[in-house]
Structure 1
């Protein structure tokens, strides 16, 4: 049953995508992607999302921890995260096909509240995943994803049913193996998630850890500890990684090093270059000569 449904999703992507890349489906935040060339892991920023692979494999690295996943698990990233990502195993013989679904903060929070208010017992997370969680496909998630992707074949279906099918998929994520992790993140009381959303919405703006702690309503020490529990990074490391990765994506898209550095809030291009080299072992210019933007990180 699962293999047949995943094959159907793959067929839809194959039919619509004769070339590599990402395309919009008409449903807000839902994109299909395809890759037939290996791309090594490169700096990227994941906004809150789910990435589901129906053929081939993908790789994501967060603070040194490697997540390799294929059609047996989907990736759940409920907070903006600076990562490295790529498609190192993609080839013409082993193509990568998948679906990217952005997670809308308001809708995910509303569903979380409704689930908590339902009166039924909802399992809590046994441990706190750090920023990213892989989850095994279950029938609820697969059915919701198939129904969502199938809408694309008819524009009227997309317009009339798109939001309802997307809500169904969100619910399947919140009930699935990564559900407790996602519900905890989208809970209205999660101050760390709110501070990350604020920083990621304006990566070029000056920010201090005291400001972030005050916004979260915590002391600096408590905020630092809880932030690292949630993301595996210190707040300073997180902010720096977000800026450098955002700049790297702009450079990969054709922007000059100086322009990209200024766009993400660096006053000095030389300081940006030093910090980039410290993080990735190459100067931004050396790095841009050997990297391209990986599929799924646009």
Structure 2
């Protein structure tokens, strides 16, 4: 690829060729797009979740951020995001875990980094969402399949 770029820079008339570059992983942007939501309270909760995903996050922590009761927050979150707060936190953690595994972290290092206390729960949740275990995912990343 570098040779092709060099050749084109040196000779703008040089013959071009298509080069296919496969992505290694997807990185979620840390922008306001993640928090785009018509409900400002849900947007605030989403922002907090994404910015603190490596910490232990409870629904009570989120309730303290907004002027809503727990029940109302859970209801509005479910209506807005089509999932429960707890399930959303797990989904974000697993997505972050795939990123960390793709960057070369071990499964146990990634689990600790994301505040998972039990590796069995991590593996079960990961497999439910991704269809394979974290170890299988990491192995496939190493082999270049992801």
Scaled by the length of structure 2, the TM-score of the pair is: 0.72
Unaligned runs of 5+ in 2: 6-18
- Given candidates 110, 113, 118, the residue that maps to 1:263 is 113
Query: How far apart are the structure 1 equivalents of 2:122 and 2:101?
Result: 13
Query: How far apart are the structure 2 equivalents of 1:265 and 1:239?
Result: 11
Q: Which runs of 4+ in 1 moved over 4 A?
A: none
What pairs with 1:1-298 in structure 2 (closer than 5 Å)? 18=5, 36-39=20-23, 45-48=28-31, 78-80=33-35, 184=38, 190-291=40-141
Unaligned runs of 5+ in 1: 1-17, 19-34, 50-77, 81-130, 132-180
Number of corresponding residues: 127
Q: Deviations over 1:161-208 (max 9, x none)?
A: xxxxxxxxxxxxxxxxxxxx6xx46xxxx1111111112111121221
Scaled by the length of structure 1, the TM-score of the pair is: 0.38
Q: Deviations over 1:97-141 (max 9, x none)?
A: xxxxxxxxxxxxxxxxxxxxxxxxxxxxxxxxxx6xxxxxxxxxx
Query: How far apart are the structure 2 equivalents of 1:228 and 1:256?
Result: 33
Query: How far apart are the structure 1 equivalents of 2:44 and 2:112?
Result: 25
Q: Point out the structure with the larger strand share.
A: 1
RMSD over aligned Cα atoms: 2.8
CA shift, 1:240, in A, is 0.6
